[in-house]
Amino acid sequence: MSSLEFKPTRMELIALRRRLNFAQKGLKLLQEKQDALIMEFFAAIQKYKRLRDSLLPIIREAYLALANAEIEMGALKLERIAEGVPETVNVEVKFKNVMGVLVPVIEAKIESIRRPYSLTDTSIYLETVSENFSQLLPTIIKLAEVSATIVKLSEEIKRIRRRVNVLDKIIIPTLNNAISYIKFYLEEREREDLFRVKRIKKKLELKSYL
């Protein structure tokens, strides 16, 4: 962009200075918001990692119990029983505002399982499997909330960074250039005027001597 797009007048100079001031204030605010969001972002990632790590030991146990149950009862029977278990989980997704970003909040209702099978003709491991996998669910739902939050925050951070870059790398330098161009132009014209006045004065003086 060239500074020739701006008219070299004093009015324009005042308007440009006002715009520059405004842009600088906006840049500062956006940068502060970006910093805050990045902190939120990393906090969310730490939370994600913590939740995920807390899943690991339960998952290991759950798979072990599942394998044992399959050995004792056979995969087919196990599957048939699994089909009969009624649904126990219901979630509701709401939104909360974190610094202008809508992040999800999940409310989960988990009922305890009503077992559709008798305890006498099934393996003891079946109980463990069902218990272990049920134990995982609340944490997984929390994990879903955090991972959606991370995605949302990441989008917002990228959006803000684009705007910060536009202000910092394009708009503010352009305004600065325009302002210094206009200042230079006005000063130059002032010097010209001064010179002209002096010249005319000299001529008039010469005339009055004659």
Partner 1 sequence: MRVALVADFDTAIGFKLAGLKEVYAVTDGRQAEEVINKLTKNAEIGIIIITESLANQIRQYIKEKLYERLIPIIVEIPDKKWAPTAMEFIKDIVKRTIGIELLIG
Question: Measured from the CB atom, is 55 or 186 closer to partner 1?
Answer: 55
CB atoms near residue 163 (< 10 Å): 15
Q: Are 31 and 164 in contact (CB under 8 A)?
A: yes
Tokens for 136, please give them. Answer: 């995982």
Can you tell me the distance from the alpha carbon of 60 to that of 42, in angstroms, rounded to the nearest whole number? 28
* Positions 96 through 125 that interact with partner 1 (CB under 8 A): 104, 106, 110-111, 113
30 makes contact with partner 1 (CB under 8 A): no
Q: Are 98 and 145 in contact (CB under 8 A)?
A: no
63 makes contact with partner 1 (CB under 8 A): yes
* Positions 157 through 186 that interact with partner 1 (CB under 8 A): 157-158
43 makes contact with partner 1 (CB under 8 A): no
CB atoms near residue 100 (< 10 Å): 9
**Facing residues of 109 across strands?**
90
Minimum Å distance from CB 170 to partner 1? 19
CB atoms near residue 114 (< 10 Å): 8
Can you tell me the distance from the alpha carbon of 27 to that of 24, in angstroms, rounded to the nearest whole number? 5
What are the angstrom distances between the C-alpha of 63 and each of 89, 136, 203? 21, 12, 106
Minimum Å distance from CB 171 to partner 1? 22
Q: Count residues near partner 1 (CB under 8 A).
A: 58
Question: Measured from the CB atom, is 63 or 195 closer to partner 1?
Answer: 63
Question: Measured from the CB atom, is 106 or 186 closer to partner 1?
Answer: 106
Q: Which residues bind partner 1 (CB under 8 A)?
A: 38, 41, 45-46, 48-49, 52, 55-56, 59, 62-63, 66-67, 70, 75, 78-79, 81-83, 85-93, 104, 106, 110-111, 113, 126, 129-130, 132-134, 136-137, 140-141, 143-145, 147-148, 150-155, 157-158
